[in-house]
Amino acid sequence: MAAPAARRRPTEVDRVRLERIFNAHHVTVWRALRRRGLSPEAAEDATQETFLLAAERLDDIRPESERSFLIATALRVANTLGRKTVRWELDEDMDQRLAAHRDTGERRADRQLCNLVLSKVDPELVEVFVLYEVEELTSPEIAELLAIPLGSVASRLRRAREQFRTAAARVEKTLHREGET
Amino acid sequence: MSRPLGEAPAAFERLLASDATDLERRVLEAARDSGPSAAASARMARALGVSAAAVGTAVAAKGLAADAVAVKATAVAGTTAVWPWISIAVIGLAVAGAVVGTRAGHRAPGPQAVPPAVTAPVWLPPSPSVEDRSTGAVTEPPSRAAAPAQRRRAAPAGGDLGDQVAFIDSARAAMSAGADRRALEILRRYQDRYPTGSFRPEAVALKVEALMKLGREAEARALAERFVAEHRGSLLARRVADVAGLSQR
């Protein structure tokens, strides 16, 4: 069996690159892990793990593929934790809490709104939706990342949008009825 | 916004750039705004041995200052003591390299506060000590005289067995990601911690594979020969022999 040569010792150049990609992408990675249902603390650990794995593979990561590589690695890490189902983190009573919390700060309210609406999107679809609409990955990148055909990306995205817009419209109607808008 | 079926994916305009309603926009922008706290970013950066550029907030500064005190005040931590709180996800992290510091006490916590992770920089220091660039604290290379980490974390489900599975899973994950040296380190720690563990054969098999991938064929073969002799006839022995290029006898 031909064994690959042992990896070289990391250099300062590597450290600088890791620092750059950490600062550019760690939030995206963390979010990807949260979407897999990890708690904030577990997502923090798994984000570290993702970047540690990236650090060992820096030579293999093309600069234009750093984000895709990191998200793909994060998803693998999540899989090792048994988190294969995508879901948006949401408290069970968010529906009730939404109205109660709408005056506690717009930012917080928006986050709750976000959780509420995205939780209504089919778990099988929400990841494609968020990767495309929020993280702004391209369809080919998503297809490669999730190992699904490009056509599946398109169809999932289309269905996700329909669900997203339906859920958003329903929430908007509720809020309107409650007098927020 | 409806589009005809079969339209090329590349033709999708992103909602935020097209006809999103105000509420849809709020939702998407909130999703984009979500992220780890500044303190969490700082902890992750420190664990990796890099600087977090976007953590210039008071929270992060407070966290780093607290860490600096902790690093200066505490003994060097070894990774084995970290296990009671460690999650599967962080196993690789904890054994990846030098553990340079831990905390002597808890940070003044809120209900969600998480003390900083024990740091395990990727960049193994070339000299016996390395300066923590964030704090100025000089930290030491790893030691097995470990102080317990203070991070609050539930014990692994399933007790020892769950812990053992976590080791093996992490070693496998590291190998899948091409991080063979780290896999070896994970396996070494597994064997240190569980010398008669339930998954010792699997650990040895993984070790043989990692050694082969790293080009350490002599070590791999020697280990494989011993393993095959001890587990002759088992499926695992066959696999190990195959991986190490031994002829099955």
For the stretch A33-62, pLDDT in tens is 887 778 888 888 899 989 988 988 888 888
Q: Testing the interface with A: which of B28, B51, B100 to mutate, by most A Cβ within 10 A?
A: B28
Asked whether the beta carbons of B73 and B104 are under 8 A apart, the reply is yes
**pLDDT tens digit sequence for B230-241:** 877 666 777 788
Rounded Cα gap, residues B6 and B18, in angstroms = 20
Name B182's Cβ contacts closer than 8 Å, sequence gap at least 6: A52, A56, B92, B95, B96, B174
Residue B34's Cβ-side half-sphere holds a number of Cα atoms within 13 Å equal to 27
Q: If you write DSSP's letter for every residue of A4-63 in order, what string do you get?
A: PPPPPPP-HHHHHHHHHHHHHHHHHHHHHHHHTT--HHHHHHHHHHHHHHHHHTGGG--G
Q: Are strands B138-139 and B130-131 parallel, antiparallel or unpaired?
A: antiparallel
CB pair distance less than 8 Å for B89 and A118 = no
B6: left (phi over 0), alpha (psi -120 to 50) or beta: left
Assess whether pLDDT exceeds 90 at residue A166.
yes
In three-state secondary structure terms, A174 is: helix
Q: Which two tokens stand for residue B216?
A: 């350490």
More reliable by pLDDT, B207 or A38: B207
ipTM: 0.77
The alpha-carbon gap from B177 to the nearest alpha carbon of chain A, in Å, equals 7
Model's pTM, two decimal places?
Answer: 0.49
Rounded Cα gap, residues B224 and B240, in angstroms = 6
The alpha-carbon gap from A49 to the nearest alpha carbon of chain B, in Å, equals 6
Comparing CB atoms, the residue among A22, A30, A76 nearest residue B48 is: A22
What's the average model confidence in pLDDT over A16-36? 89
The alpha-carbon gap from A133 to the nearest alpha carbon of chain B, in Å, equals 6
What's the average model confidence in pLDDT over B109-122? 34
Asked whether the beta carbons of B88 and B131 are under 8 A apart, the reply is no
For chain B, the C-alpha Rg in angstroms (whole number) is: 23
Assess whether pLDDT exceeds 60 at residue B35.
yes
Rounded Cα gap, residues A43 and A34, in angstroms = 6
